[in-house]
Amino acid sequence: VTSLVRPDLRLRESWAAAVAEFVDTGSTPHGYGLWDFEPLDVTEEGCRKIVDHLLAQADPATELPGDWVHCTYYWITDGDPSEVDSGEFVGYLALRHSLSPWLLEEGGHIGYSVRPSRRREGHASRALALAVRRAGELGIERALVTCDDDNEASRRTIERCGGVYEDTRNGKRRYWVVTADRAPEKE
């Protein structure tokens, strides 16, 4: 079952395997929030720092540089969200709490990526649907989700989730997803 959980040290082993996969396949992770941590240190100590950093980004008390906005980072897992230990890391998802001028033009509220070996199993579609619900809980009535013009997988993911196309700006297709009429999340 596809779940969204907060970054957690207990997922380190499968996360580290996924990190290696992104590198080996030359796939750029989206929605991971770790540009400043490259190359990623997947040791226990490194993972702890990364988890702490990601969790802090959601905290309104955390001061952020420039027009950076607060963001809840999730790790997409295949497993029961109440038993993080038994789940496996399958991807990243970022839920930005507001839109800076750049996010409004190009970045959107939600970014995500699925580890290469677990693609085409529906994880991105289910994770995005869960994230849209979480966006509604944050008071976001319409979530902006964008993708590169030539990213068919992401385009289909967004359209499948009910994204309504607005326009394309700087090569990014921009979609709005209404958060209000979501069915309750299955526990």
Ligand X SMILES: CC(C)(COP(=O)(O)OP(=O)(O)OC[C@H]1O[C@@H](n2cnc3c(N)ncnc32)[C@H](O)[C@@H]1OP(=O)(O)O)[C@@H](O)C(=O)NCCC(=O)NCCS
Which of 157, 174, 176, 182 is the binder for ligand X (CB under 6 A)? 157
Choosing from 44, 83, 122, 149, the residue that interacts with ligand X (CB under 6 A) is: 122
Residue 151 touching ligand X (CB under 6 A): yes
**Binding region for ligand X (CB under 6 A) out of 63-71, 80-88, 114-122, 130-138:** 114-122
Using CB under 6 A as the binding rule, the residues of this chain from 14 to 33 that contact ligand X are 27, 30
How many residues form the binding site for ligand X (CB under 6 A)? 21
Kindly report the backbone phi and psi dihedral angles of residue 106, in degrees, each rounded to the nearest multiple of 5, phi listed first: -135, -40
Which residue, 178, 166, 164, is CA-closest to 135?
Answer: 178
**Nearer CB in complex with ligand X: 12/123:** 123
Least distance from ligand X to the Cβ atom of residue 148, Å: 7
Pair type for strands 164-169 and 172-178? antiparallel
By CB under 6 A, is residue 112 in contact with ligand X? yes
Choose among 56, 22, 54: nearest CA to 39: 22
Q: Does 2 bind ligand X (CB under 6 A)?
A: no
Pick the stretch among 61-69, 96-104, 119-127, 136-144 that binds ligand X (CB under 6 A): 119-127
Nearer to ligand X, 59 or 185 (CB): 185
| Inter-CA distances, 21 with 13, 18, 27, 36, Å | 13, 5, 8, 19
Please identify which residue in 44, 83, 152, 166 interacts with ligand X, judged by CB under 6 A.
152
Q: Specify the 3-state DSSP secondary structure of 74.
A: strand
Q: What is the SS3 assignment for 93? A: strand
Q: Does 121 bind ligand X (CB under 6 A)?
A: yes
Residue 97 · residue 62 · CB < 8 Å: no
Closest residue to ligand X in the complex (CB): 124
Question: Cα dist. 166→66, 118, 140, 176 in Å?
Answer: 27, 30, 17, 7
List interacting residues with ligand X (CB under 6 A).
27, 30, 111-114, 119-125, 147, 151-154, 156-157, 160
